[in-house]
Amino acid sequence: MNPEREGIDDSQDVLYRLVDQESGAVLIAAEDLLNYFMEEDREPPETVTFVRVHQVGRGRRKTERAELQVVDRQGRTIGAYYLGRVAAEFRHELVSSGADRPDLDYSIGHICEYPRAGEIWRKWATRRPVERGEWAHYPSDWHESWLHVVQTAWFDSGRDATRYGTDGTAVIDSTAITTRDGFYCALGEAVNGPGGYFGSNRDAVFDCLRTMRRDGATPFRLVWRNYAASREALGSDFTESVISLFEECGVETELSSE
């Protein structure tokens, strides 16, 4: 047994683990987290709250290199955030063995400025795999957070900014695209499947296309259905710049009216 993980409860209810990067020790494991995923313009709180804690690492109250891990029901890490220095704002006596699940506070250096990310992580952790078009079921103000979760999970899984799909045609359906973040959600899914990433802005898309070509990934043709709706929602400058980027990188594009 790993001594750093002795006594750690990897229950299916645990969603977050706070880990010391140097030792790999789990400092705390909890079902939820408050005051970490917040609006960008809100004043950062002094502490974040770990909700319904399952375990506190023995003798560990702080670290200079903390990582917040999001875990699924099998205890696998599906996303992570580097926090730097963290310190507990509680006494270990409050969480003796066999105690009910308490809520405990930690002071941290920064928050995540994607307010819906916590809710999306929970859905990803409890119900996998991601369904095709799932992002489009959420209101448009969730799309930025969805794209953030996609990008974080993509790179934390060890994948690169490139194409992994093998279909010859990638299809974007404009029906649910009302924001630029929504477009990048749709593009990632079209190229790399549900929950897939293929850039979160124009420069990032270019990086994906360049890496794809360098690594010899399977080329594809892009079909953009109901293009007129996207042009109206996103602006002609945006849509035309995206098309020119694909054409510049050798991707054939078809703009469909259906």
What is the per-residue pLDDT across 130-176, written as a single tens digit (0 to 9) for each? 999 999 999 999 999 999 999 999 999 999 999 998 889 999 999 88
What is the C-alpha R_g of the chain?
21
Least confident stretch, 54-63, 184-193, 208-217: 54-63
Q: Is residue 3 scored above 70 in pLDDT?
A: no
CATH fold of 151-255: Barnase; Chain D (3.30.370)
Q: Is residue 16 scored above 60 in pLDDT?
A: yes
The pLDDT assigned to 209 comes to: 96
Q: Is residue 11 scored above 70 in pLDDT?
A: no
Q: Is residue 76 scored above 60 in pLDDT?
A: yes
116 contact partners, CB below 8 Å, separation of at least 6: 37, 138, 141, 142, 145, 146
96 contact partners, CB below 8 Å, separation of at least 6: none
Q: How far apart are CA 227 and CA 229, in angstroms?
A: 5
Where is pLDDT greater, at 91 or 53? 53
The pLDDT assigned to 236 comes to: 95
- The sign of the torsion formed by the CA atoms of 99, 103, 109, 114 equals positive
Angle of CA points 153, 156, 159, to nearest 5°: 90
The pLDDT assigned to 59 comes to: 66
Name the DSSP letter for residue 8: -
Instruction: Tell me the mean pLDDT in the region 76-103.
Output: 79
Q: How far apart are CA 13 and CA 153, in angstroms?
A: 20
Name the average pLDDT for the chain.
Answer: 89
Q: What is the pTM of this model?
A: 0.90
- Taking the domains of the chain in order of start, what are their residue ranges? 3-117, 151-255
The pLDDT assigned to 93 comes to: 54
The pLDDT assigned to 165 comes to: 86
The closest alpha carbon to 24, from 80, 73, 104, 72, belongs to: 80
Least confident stretch, 65-74, 99-108, 169-178, 230-239: 99-108
Q: Is residue 33 scored above 90 in pLDDT?
A: yes
For 163, list phi and psi in degrees, rounded to 5: -100, 130
Instruction: Tell me the mean pLDDT in the region 85-92.
Output: 82
The pLDDT assigned to 9 comes to: 45
